[in-house]
Amino acid sequence: MSFPRTFELVSGLATGLLGIIVALTLLKDDLDTTRRLELEFSLFQELALVLIFFMAPTLLVVIGSYFHAVLGDSGRGRVMIFVGSSLLTVFFLLFEINAGYAAMYRIGLRSWLVVLALVTLVTSFAVRGKSHRKSDA
Protein backbone atom coordinates (compact mmCIF):
# COMPACT_ATOMS: atom_id res chain seq x y z
CA MET A 1 0.00 0.00 0.00
CA SER A 2 1.37 3.41 -0.95
CA PHE A 3 2.09 6.18 1.53
CA PRO A 4 -0.93 8.36 0.55
CA ARG A 5 -3.28 5.41 0.98
CA THR A 6 -1.71 4.54 4.32
CA PHE A 7 -2.01 8.17 5.43
CA GLU A 8 -5.66 8.22 4.38
CA LEU A 9 -6.38 5.05 6.32
CA VAL A 10 -4.54 6.28 9.42
CA SER A 11 -6.32 9.65 9.36
CA GLY A 12 -9.66 7.86 8.94
CA LEU A 13 -8.93 5.59 11.89
CA ALA A 14 -7.76 8.59 13.95
CA THR A 15 -11.05 10.30 13.13
CA GLY A 16 -12.91 7.24 14.38
CA LEU A 17 -10.90 7.06 17.59
CA LEU A 18 -11.37 10.77 18.26
CA GLY A 19 -15.10 10.41 17.54
CA ILE A 20 -15.34 7.75 20.24
CA ILE A 21 -13.39 9.95 22.66
CA VAL A 22 -15.66 12.95 21.93
CA ALA A 23 -18.79 10.84 22.39
CA LEU A 24 -17.63 9.39 25.70
CA THR A 25 -16.50 12.81 26.93
CA LEU A 26 -19.86 14.36 26.14
CA LEU A 27 -21.72 11.50 27.80
CA LYS A 28 -19.56 11.84 30.91
CA ASP A 29 -20.08 15.61 31.02
CA ASP A 30 -23.85 15.21 30.69
CA LEU A 31 -23.88 12.55 33.40
CA ASP A 32 -21.87 14.77 35.75
CA THR A 33 -24.16 17.73 35.06
CA THR A 34 -27.33 15.77 35.73
CA ARG A 35 -25.87 14.39 38.96
CA ARG A 36 -24.81 17.85 40.07
CA LEU A 37 -28.29 19.23 39.35
CA GLU A 38 -29.89 16.14 40.92
CA LEU A 39 -31.84 15.33 37.76
CA GLU A 40 -32.50 12.00 36.11
CA PHE A 41 -29.99 10.97 33.45
CA SER A 42 -31.76 9.79 30.32
CA LEU A 43 -29.22 7.33 28.96
CA PHE A 44 -31.23 6.31 25.88
CA GLN A 45 -31.80 9.90 24.79
CA GLU A 46 -28.16 10.87 25.34
CA LEU A 47 -26.89 7.80 23.47
CA ALA A 48 -29.24 8.52 20.56
CA LEU A 49 -27.99 12.10 20.30
CA VAL A 50 -24.34 11.09 20.48
CA LEU A 51 -24.87 8.34 17.91
CA ILE A 52 -26.64 10.68 15.48
CA PHE A 53 -24.38 13.71 15.81
CA PHE A 54 -20.95 12.15 16.31
CA MET A 55 -20.73 8.40 15.83
CA ALA A 56 -22.69 7.93 12.59
CA PRO A 57 -20.73 10.56 10.59
CA THR A 58 -17.46 9.36 12.12
CA LEU A 59 -18.30 5.78 11.20
CA LEU A 60 -18.97 6.91 7.63
CA VAL A 61 -15.52 8.49 7.46
CA VAL A 62 -13.82 5.37 8.87
CA ILE A 63 -15.61 2.91 6.61
CA GLY A 64 -15.17 5.20 3.61
CA SER A 65 -11.44 5.51 4.19
CA TYR A 66 -11.18 1.72 4.45
CA PHE A 67 -13.13 1.21 1.21
CA HIS A 68 -11.10 3.85 -0.59
CA ALA A 69 -7.60 3.14 0.73
CA VAL A 70 -7.59 -0.61 1.20
CA LEU A 71 -10.20 -1.96 -1.18
CA GLY A 72 -9.56 0.67 -3.85
CA ASP A 73 -13.26 1.43 -4.29
CA SER A 74 -13.08 5.14 -5.03
CA GLY A 75 -16.80 5.57 -5.75
CA ARG A 76 -18.44 4.40 -2.54
CA GLY A 77 -15.46 5.17 -0.33
CA ARG A 78 -15.08 8.77 -1.41
CA VAL A 79 -18.83 9.40 -1.17
CA MET A 80 -18.89 8.02 2.39
CA ILE A 81 -15.92 10.17 3.39
CA PHE A 82 -17.52 13.24 1.81
CA VAL A 83 -20.90 12.72 3.47
CA GLY A 84 -19.37 11.94 6.88
CA SER A 85 -17.01 14.92 6.76
CA SER A 86 -19.79 17.23 5.61
CA LEU A 87 -22.10 16.09 8.41
CA LEU A 88 -19.40 16.52 11.04
CA THR A 89 -18.62 20.01 9.75
CA VAL A 90 -22.28 21.07 9.61
CA PHE A 91 -23.01 19.71 13.10
CA PHE A 92 -19.91 21.45 14.46
CA LEU A 93 -20.93 24.77 12.95
CA LEU A 94 -24.54 24.43 14.12
CA PHE A 95 -23.52 23.61 17.68
CA GLU A 96 -20.99 26.42 17.89
CA ILE A 97 -23.26 29.06 16.34
CA ASN A 98 -26.31 28.09 18.42
CA ALA A 99 -24.59 27.47 21.73
CA GLY A 100 -22.32 30.48 21.69
CA TYR A 101 -19.72 30.88 24.39
CA ALA A 102 -21.12 28.06 26.56
CA ALA A 103 -19.96 25.48 24.00
CA MET A 104 -16.35 26.63 24.15
CA TYR A 105 -15.73 24.18 27.00
CA ARG A 106 -14.99 21.26 24.67
CA ILE A 107 -14.43 23.07 21.38
CA GLY A 108 -10.92 21.64 21.03
CA LEU A 109 -12.04 18.03 20.81
CA ARG A 110 -14.86 18.77 18.40
CA SER A 111 -12.74 21.01 16.20
CA TRP A 112 -9.99 18.37 15.92
CA LEU A 113 -12.63 15.84 14.93
CA VAL A 114 -13.66 18.09 12.04
CA VAL A 115 -10.04 18.77 11.09
CA LEU A 116 -9.19 15.05 10.96
CA ALA A 117 -12.31 14.32 8.90
CA LEU A 118 -11.36 17.06 6.43
CA VAL A 119 -7.77 15.78 6.26
CA THR A 120 -9.14 12.35 5.38
CA LEU A 121 -11.35 13.90 2.70
CA VAL A 122 -8.51 15.90 1.15
CA THR A 123 -6.22 12.87 1.25
CA SER A 124 -8.84 10.76 -0.50
CA PHE A 125 -8.85 13.24 -3.37
CA ALA A 126 -5.05 13.27 -3.44
CA VAL A 127 -4.82 9.47 -3.79
CA ARG A 128 -4.65 8.53 -7.43
CA GLY A 129 -3.56 5.47 -9.29
CA LYS A 130 -4.59 1.93 -9.91
CA SER A 131 -6.69 -0.03 -7.52
CA HIS A 132 -4.87 -2.50 -5.28
CA ARG A 133 -7.36 -5.28 -5.81
CA LYS A 134 -5.91 -8.59 -6.87
CA SER A 135 -7.23 -9.67 -10.23
CA ASP A 136 -8.49 -13.19 -10.68
CA ALA A 137 -6.46 -14.71 -13.51
DSSP string over the chain: --HHHHHHHHHHHHHHHHHHHHHHHHHHHHHHHHHHTT----HHHHHHHHIIIIIHHHHHHHHHHHHHHTS--HHHHHHHHHHHHHHHHHHHHHHHHHHGGGGGGGHHHHHHHHHHHHHHHHHHHH--S---PPP--
Lowest mean pLDDT among 37-51, 61-75, 90-104, 112-126: 90-104
The answer to pTM > 0.75 is yes
Q: How confident is the model at residue 96 (pLDDT cuts 50, 70, 90)?
A: confident
